[in-house]
Structure 1
Amino acid sequence: MEQADDTSAASAFTADEIEAGRRLFAGEWTFLTAAPTIATLPPMRSIEIAFAGRSNVGKSSLVNALTGRKALARTSVTPGRTQELIFFGLGPELTLVDMPGYGFAKAPKDKVDAWTATVHAYLRGRANLARVFVLIDSRHGLKPIDREVLDGLDKAAVSYAVVLTKADQLRADELAERVAETQAGLARRPAAFPIVFPTSSREGFGIGDLRAAVIRLMAERGIR
């Protein structure tokens, strides 16, 4: 399909922010830990950015694209492969958290329920969690299960932003329509960041904007 033009949030960020984001994410990222339960969460050390979304929406691929690493986060075509909260660190400055996907997963129901409880407890109680990027497949848009997750984040007063993945698989006009539709769906949500981020991990589309958004968030918290 025709690759989408950049209808993303680039104009909302300065060239300096985009360059600062590139430099930051080019740093040395390391795997920190995998936490299957709240009791095994690592100590809070820096601000955390978490990635949530339906199984197989592309969370691990996005983490790899942001950090410029091909295999920092494990990717799989099998939905539900990520079964723990996976923590990646950039020195003392920043931690990324790859969360278990919600929705379909090839795992017993009791295990899925346990992951879900862990994720909810993490979102409610992690004091250094600065933002959740909620990934939505741009080909399909917001589904009822996604809205349930957004409802939970609103109730918990956890700041979140919507990232549209696989944007390279839509035409420019289709993507513009999906962005507008998503923004309309977020308009009255109290915890939602007002910018929607269309991205393609495969093509690198929109990745600079996400990095810049993290830079701005860190600056707002006096970290950079």
Structure 2
Amino acid sequence: MDRLACEFVASAGALADCPRWDRIEVALVGRSNVGKSSLLNALAGQHRLARTSRTPGRTQTINFFTLGESLALVDLPGYGYARMPQPLATRIAGAMREFLAGRSNLRGLILLIDARRGAQREELDLAASAHERGLTLFAVATKCDKLKRSERSAALAQMRALETEPILCSVHTGEGIDLLRRRVLSAGR
């Protein structure tokens, strides 16, 4: 399962601008530069589907990608990037909160956490919110290729506080990508 029928559909700056459709949505959420767009590309098996950058804060809109006949992946802007102008950061944070709280098609959340950093207060709050809304939560430890073997079990143990089984992923080595892809596709059924 290397490549999926996945294509970009729309960008939205607010909930009112989001596509109106019956697709089941699974959103990628996490800190700036945690690898949301890179993971979306890896899940789809396409290198240039979602724009990626080494510069934090590049994704500033809610981006929608169709996946097969009934599923959509939603690439959300990252949070926690301090160098963004305050009015822009406030607008983006508001759009994300509105999307996560009010999007009726949203059924799942891929919560990306840098494996070297671990889950912080924001990630714990997002996980709790996902559980309260009844969303399927996929906890993904990104950049696991940068961990020493001895650090992996500690990273997994720390992420279990999110009350879901974490998946170690690396877009560089491909670790965990097929497992996450299968789980996301099964959530769309």
For the superposition of Structure 1 and Structure 2, which TM-score range results when normalised by the shorter chain?
over 0.9
How far did residue 132 of structure 1 move?
A: 0.4
Which of the numbers 155, 158, 178 marks the counterpart of 1:181? 158
Q: Does 1:140 align with 2:110?
A: no
> For residue 33 of structure 1, what is the aligned residue in structure 2?
10
Measure, in 2, the Cα distance between the counterparts of 1:104 and 1:209: 29
Identity of aligned residues (%): 38
Deviation readout 1:193-223 (Å, 9 max, x if unpaired): x2101100111110011011123323xxxx3
Q: Does 1:201 align with 2:171?
A: yes
Measure, in 1, the Cα distance between the counterparts of 2:35 and 2:42: 10
Which of the numbers 153, 160, 164 marks the counterpart of 2:141? 164
Measure, in 2, the Cα distance between the counterparts of 1:39 and 1:217: 25
| Stretch of structure 1 that moved more, 72-81 or 146-155 | 146-155
The structure with higher relative contact order (CA 8 Å, sep 6+) is 1
Which of the numbers 106, 130, 145 marks the counterpart of 2:107? 130
How far did residue 177 of structure 1 move?
A: 1.6
Matches within 5 A, 1:19-98: 22=1, 26-98=3-75
Answer yes or no: is the 8 Å Cα contact 1:123–1:158 preserved in 2. no
Identify unmatched segments of 5+ residues in structure 2.
none
Measure, in 2, the Cα distance between the counterparts of 1:35 and 1:163: 25
Identify unmatched segments of 5+ residues in structure 1.
1-21, 188-193
> For residue 5 of structure 1, what is the aligned residue in structure 2?
none
Measure, in 2, the Cα distance between the counterparts of 1:128 and 1:148: 21
How far did residue 105 of structure 1 move?
A: 4.8
Measure, in 2, the Cα distance between the counterparts of 1:156 and 1:121: 14
Answer yes or no: is the 8 Å Cα contact 2:9–2:66 preserved in 1. yes
Aligned AA (1:76):
S
> For residue 117 of structure 1, what is the aligned residue in structure 2?
94
Secondary structure at 1:177 match in 2: helix
How far did residue 130 of structure 1 move?
A: 1.4
How far did residue 126 of structure 1 move?
A: 1.5
Measure, in 2, the Cα distance between the counterparts of 1:156 and 1:119: 15
Secondary structure at 1:131 match in 2: strand
Deviation readout 1:79-125 (Å, 9 max, x if unpaired): 11100001111242211100000101542212111111111111112
Deviation readout 1:130-152 (Å, 9 max, x if unpaired): 11011000011012232233344
Measure, in 1, the Cα distance between the counterparts of 2:80 and 2:178: 28
How far did residue 39 of structure 1 move?
A: 1.6
Bigger Rg over Cα: 1
Answer yes or no: is the 8 Å Cα contact 1:45–1:92 preserved in 2. no
TM-score scaled by length of structure 1 = 0.79
Answer yes or no: is the 8 Å Cα contact 2:13–2:62 preserved in 1. yes
Deviation readout 1:14-49 (Å, 9 max, x if unpaired): xxxxxxxx2xx7232211001011121111231111
TM-score scaled by length of structure 2 = 0.92
Number of aligned pairs? 189
Secondary structure at 2:124 match in 1: helix
How far did residue 154 of structure 1 move?
A: 4.1
